Amino acid sequence: MTQSFYITTPIYYVNGAPHIGHAYTSIAADVMARFKRLDGYDVFFLTGTDEHGQKVEKAARDAGLDTQAFTDRISADFKAMADAMGVSYDDFIRTTEDRHKASCAELWRRIERNGDIYLGHYEGWYAVRDEAFYDESELTTRPDGTRVAPSGAPVEWVREPSYFFRLSAFQDRLLTLYEENPEFVAPSSRRNEVTSFVKGGLLDLSISRTTFNWGIPVPDAPGHVMYVWLDALTNYITACGFPDENAPRWHYWPADVHFVGKDIIRFHAVYWPAFLMAAGLPLPKRVSSHGWWVVEGEKMSKSLGNVIEPRKLAETYGLDQIRYFLLREKPFGTDGSMSHPAIVSRINVELANDLGNLAQRSLSLIARNCGGILPARGPATEDDTALLTAAGALLDLVRVNIDRQTFHEGLEEIWKVIRAANGYIDRQAPWALNKTDKTRMGEVLRVLVDTIRVVATLLQPVMPSSMARMLDQLGVSADARTFAALETPLTDGQTLPPPQGVFPRYVEPVA
């Protein structure tokens, strides 16, 4: 039976337009989803929108719109963004859907039945921007007297009746989880952070609100709506059909990996497993967190006017180029800066020169000197073997990096082979062999085609449409682009389509 693989993105708050930070989480998750599909897995890839809570309610009010109408509009925009960025989700969930309301109500009942929910009174700090409760000890005071959370979000004092989740009772079980599953939180720096947070002691968590009503009603508790993070996290099981364990998608649970930003790791690595333990449900296998993008060294913010719209970026530089840049420019787990020169350099040096020229040079020599017919391999020289061995080892190397979400290292492995192929073409000089040894010229070009084929096949998850074009030109049929298909050699003597450049250089527009 095909092994299943379940990948999620966070569900995005619909309080404003999507920006590059949102696109980044989704594209990284998409790369893994596409990689796993090509590697033979039955993948379920989920994304969607987080639509309840005070933050969204306030944004709708500020926009002068009915809350549901507002969320419909922004959710549709997030969906359009995912489509435009090539995010190959299998389902797009919205927390205002009925299936999700039913799922949350059932999860609540199960936790309550196990005795981990009790009614009390919350009095303390709350940051609407983070939709999070904070302890006094976590706050700092700005010069103007405002109290702020570590994220910089202003907090307000909240006092209301509330249901609580007995989070404090889960401390030992959580620590055991992290200890027994070192892969549960990634990267390891975040794992240490989460572990020390839990070791520091856990307070019970307020999980219902009574001062507004834009949320999922707590079962049998008029006036209470669920805390938006309990509601939001539940989306991951709703999409699998919870609570119907006979649902066609239930077998995908537990998730293999939740992709999240570093700002929301605590919710995913502490609260979420605790809720699931309390409900007697299996736990996700991994929470993989990424760092933030800043723009030209500055944090993105509406007030600075430097918020980057992902679709605009794709229009300016090309979608595949941007997907490549996002995964190549910085390690997944750390912060990184985005700038015009950095993007242009990746495009012109790595895509246009290293890869684009390599393919174009090899294929145009076949077009010109071999009548467009794919030549056969010959007896391998030492130089041939070295390159082909490096290409043959690539799948395993890249797979390891995808499984660890070290995307930039996986790409570096691929580029080592591309650079080796460029060295090979220069040394072998097939253009010169055209006059002296036509057979050997064909053999050299075939070694190049076979190498570029591996590279293009492995790069499909990152740059789907450019690599589809490259594989077309290499004569790889559409049904032979999986990783398993790499085992089957291309057919000698087939006619290749005329080569066309896949990666144009970025040229500054004339002002």
Give the footprint of ligand MSP on this chain (CB under 6 A). 10-13, 21-22, 24-25, 50, 232-233, 235, 260-261, 263-264, 292-293, 300
Q: In this complex, which beta carbon is closest to ligand MSP, that of residue 21 or of residue 461?
A: 21
Please report how close the Cβ of residue 124 comes to ligand MSP at its closest, in angstroms.
21
Q: Of 145, 37, 46, 27, which Cα lies nearest the Cα of 93?
A: 46
Closest CB 69 distance from ligand MSP, rounded Å: 20
**What DSSP letter does each residue of 384-436 carry, written as one string?**
HHHHHHHHHTHHHHHHHHHHTT-HHHHHHHHHHHHHHHHHHHHHH-HHHHHHH
Residue whose tokens read 């293999």: 256
Q: Which residues contact 355 (CB under 8 A, 6 or more apart)?
A: 418, 455, 502, 503
**Minimum separation from the CB atom of position 256 to ligand MSP (A):** 16
Is residue 286 within 8 A of residue 257, CB to CB? The reply is: yes
Q: For ligand MSP, which is the closer residue by CB, 294 or 380?
A: 294
Place of tokens 């007896």: 379
Q: Minimum CB separation from ligand MSP for residue 50, in Å?
A: 3
Least distance CB 117 / ligand MSP (angstroms): 20
Taking the complex as a whole, the smallest distance from the CB of residue 310 to ligand MSP amounts, in Å, to: 11
**Distance in angstroms (rounded) separating the CA atoms of residues 35 and 22:** 20
CB-based burial, 276-288: b 16+ in 10 Å, e otherwise: bbbbebebbebbb
The rounded distance, in Å, linking the Cα atoms of 511 and 504 is 20
468-472-476 Cα angle (round to 5): 100
Query: Among all residues, whose Cβ is closest to ligand MSP?
Result: 261
CA pseudo-torsion sign 283, 39, 392, 327 = negative
In the complex, least distance from residue 364 CB atom to ligand MSP, rounded to whole angstroms? 40
Task: Measure the CA angle with vertex 15, ends 14 and 21; round to 5°.
Answer: 75
Cβ nearer to ligand MSP, comparing 122 with 275: 275
